[in-house]
Structure 1
Amino acid sequence: MEENLLVRYIMHHVTPEEEMTVKSWLRESDANRRRLFELEQLCSLRKEMEIRKDTERMDRAFSALSDRLDFAEEEHKPVKTAKTFRLAWYKVASVAAVLLLLVVNVFFLTREEKQAWNTVFVPKGQRVSLLLSDGTTVWLNSESRFSYPTQFTADHREAKLEGEGYFEVAHNPKCPFTLSLPMLDVHVLGTKFNARAYSGEPCSVALKEGSVEVETADHAKRQRMEPGDEVNYTPRNGLVLIKGKKDTSIDTWTTGDLMLKDMTLRQMIRQMERHFDVKIYVGDNALLEEYFTCHIRKDLTINQVMELLKETRRLDYTINHDSVYIFRP
């Protein structure tokens, strides 16, 4: 993958076709995702250095201007004739022009900072919490990519998520908050909700407090949600609203726990691989469609979890380093 395309992807300067190309490349391997993560860190460091360099350049310009003004004051003061008055006026005009140029530079630098976006990628087996500039708190689960501006605008707050995140959005009726997922947009004023949008899996939004409106990316359908509701979306089934589910465990993963309720082994494997940073292989395809329930506490290891599943007498396993092999007993 060309580095130029990856940089433009990080800076949100790609076409929809290029974005799909990069996302497909990221799904190919962990090495590709690590490469993007490292490149994001380099871009962030470079931007910080450029801002610092511009700030130092302005400081030097102000210092040089101050020195010239001090030197002018120390010179002898001639008699005020019309000619010297005009020279003084030209000097004042020149100084004003320099100051104006510096002010303009500061303005554009500040505006550029406010328009700049940050991107956070969370590797497997890790979780991250963020505090945004508006007071919104965000928890990001493993293998999640979250993009947000350094500073929100006065009338709108926007962020992007690929993966899973739990949000406690600071209430501000004059400045709505929009979370863009690959297939859905979530519009809120102030609320608590969980959003999942992993590649190759259904999108889902679960509301804990407040109210949100979920809209498909093509703006064709909208769905208003109330506390306890959950919305699932796939291109095949569209928006599906589950009323009054009241799942109190939607944010347990933010503390390191995993509550896997009535899930197929196929669904559980995806979350366990992200949670423990392992690769799980299943030798019996029929086993993938069997349902399990398991509460994985944050202090449990992958070995302990597999022992719990083994007690169901429906599967057995072996572990070799970071690879787990599941088979019929």
Structure 2
Amino acid sequence: MNNYIDMNDVEQLIIDKLTGQIGEEDDLRLEDLIARDQEVEQLWQQMQQVYAMRKAVSFEQSFKVEDAWLALQKKVNIPDPVAEPVTDTVAIPIRRSNTSWLRYGMAAAVVGVIIISVYFLNGLYRSQDAVTKNIQIKLANGNIVHASTQDSLAGWMQKARDAKVDPGAWNTLTVPAGKSYAFQLADGSKVWLNAVSELRFPLLFTRAERTLELKGEAYFKVAHQASQPFTVQVNGLTVQALGTEFNIKSYNNESTFISLVKGSVAVTNAKGERVVLLPGEGVIAANGHSFLQKQQFDETTVLSWMQGLYFFRNEKLQQIAVVAERWFDVRVQLQDASLSGLHFTGAMDRNKPVNNFFNMLASSGDIRYEVKDGKVVISRN
């Protein structure tokens, strides 16, 4: 590499050229650098590929909650989520010790969203046991009702009625790893459940309040009934809403995130502290703590899971691995503890091949992977 070439300057020239803002003199200079320096040529090719993919990523403009619900409602008995196809590109690693690569990651964010694609069903590394896992409802009397792809929503509800359980008693709907589910409660409220989630609910709301209990992640579109408040109990918090739409994410050993899309909700912790949210506002309760912290949130990022997408921005590999396990029902092992701190920017699309995801992740150059004993083992490259 020629020591007189400033790679920061080169990256800016490439961005200007890709976005049509480069001047004639700078354009000639960049062409000369590409022709005589191999590293500049490689960088040019990589950033060209990222820019070429930008039109494939239209999620931020096209995602609409109501349209997504209608699509899901048509397939309410099919566990895989509905999502528009997303074109594959590569992951960009965030290296804090190298300002050039950090800036490259930032530049890529300017010229296009960087996507790593993955698919949801029939993954290459799924175990036979994982394929047989079903969404199920444990009724108040202990009976198990499976919500398979052959069952309709009305079908399993009828099974529940046939069991002659107390309609106001708690039933538990469980969604395993690798699946998601959407259905409608007795009051007309609609619920999406993400993978590895559990919802406790009655067949009928017979009490003064419509109360649910959640573990995991769910999106709620609440039917308005002013005389019967709607509440969700989650990880020591009470979320109360009247005619509203909000998302709750609360997995084991993780902080709880509550994000309001429409209407208003009140979040109360075990100490009685109360926070009222307006649309676009969210609240975080750190794992093991009840302190409520209000903040703004990005709707596209928070709600993308309903279309089978998970965006990660400068996120640790350890957390990415946790989400991959949850979404694709595959075990992921980091061979070296230091790998957990590597940062990546990109997105998962669980409608694409799972082996695609790990290939793309490995294409960053930082890591490699192999399959051992039914696990995906990630090691340093």
TM-score w.r.t. structure 2 length?
0.56
**Cα distance in 2 between the residues matched to 1:50 and 1:128:** 18
**Cα distance in 1 between the residues matched to 2:236 and 2:160:** 35
Q: Deviations for 1:194-216, whole angstroms, at most 9, x for unmatched residues?
A: 11121121111112122111111
| Conserved? CA contact 2:367–2:378, under 8 Å | yes
| Conserved? CA contact 1:277–1:322, under 8 Å | no
Q: 1:125 to 1:172 in 2, by over 3 A?
A: same
- Residue 242 of structure 1: how far off its partner (Å): 4.3
| Conserved? CA contact 1:124–1:275, under 8 Å | yes
Letter in 2 for 1:142: A
**Cα distance in 2 between the residues matched to 1:226 and 1:322:** 46
**Count of equivalent residues:** 239
| Conserved? CA contact 1:229–1:243, under 8 Å | yes
Q: Which residue of 1 aligns with 2:320?
A: 268
Q: Deviations for 1:2-40, whole angstroms, at most 9, x for unmatched residues?
A: xxxxxxxxxxxxxxxxxxxxxxxxxxxxx9xx99x8893
**Cα distance in 2 between the residues matched to 1:258 and 1:53:** 38
**Cα distance in 1 between the residues matched to 2:136 and 2:246:** 30
**Cα distance in 1 between the residues matched to 2:160 and 2:330:** 38
**Cα distance in 2 between the residues matched to 1:213 and 1:116:** 25
- Residue 304 of structure 1: how far off its partner (Å): 0.9
CA RMSD of aligned residues (A): 3.0
Q: 1:260 to 1:53 in 2, by over 3 A?
A: closer
3-state SS of the aligned residue for 1:114? Answer: coil
Letter in 2 for 1:124: A
Q: Which residue of 1 aligns with 2:103?
A: none
Q: Which residue of 2 aligns with 1:40?
A: 138
**Cα distance in 2 between the residues matched to 1:39 and 1:212:** 28
State which drifts further: 188-197 or 294-303.
Answer: 294-303
Between structures 1 and 2, the one with greater helix share: 1
User: Given the alignment of the two structures, is residue 114 of structure 1 paired with residue 213 of structure 2, yes or no?
Assistant: no
Q: Which structure has more RCO (C-alpha within 8 Å, separation ≥ 6)?
A: 2
User: Given the alignment of the two structures, is residue 155 of structure 1 paired with residue 208 of structure 2, yes or no?
Assistant: yes
3-state SS of the aligned residue for 1:115? Answer: coil
| Conserved? CA contact 1:318–1:326, under 8 Å | yes
| Conserved? CA contact 2:170–2:201, under 8 Å | yes
Q: Which residue of 2 aligns with 1:281?
A: 333
- Residue 151 of structure 1: how far off its partner (Å): 0.5
Letter in 1 for 2:261: K
Letter in 1 for 2:363: E
Instruction: Identify which of 284, 291, 297 aligns with 1:232.
Output: 284
**Cα distance in 2 between the residues matched to 1:119 and 1:39:** 5
Q: Which residue of 1 aligns with 2:358?
A: 306
- Residue 309 of structure 1: how far off its partner (Å): 1.5
3-state SS of the aligned residue for 1:43? Answer: coil
| Conserved? CA contact 1:266–1:288, under 8 Å | yes
Which runs of 5 or more structure 2 residues have no equivalent in the other structure? 1-128, 146-156
Q: 1:326 to 1:119 in 2, by over 3 A?
A: same
| Conserved? CA contact 1:252–1:258, under 8 Å | yes
Q: Which residue of 1 aligns with 2:148?
A: none
3-state SS of the aligned residue for 2:166? Answer: helix
- Residue 259 of structure 1: how far off its partner (Å): 2.0
| Conserved? CA contact 2:248–2:256, under 8 Å | yes
- Residue 128 of structure 1: how far off its partner (Å): 0.8
- Residue 247 of structure 1: how far off its partner (Å): 2.9
| Conserved? CA contact 1:229–1:246, under 8 Å | no
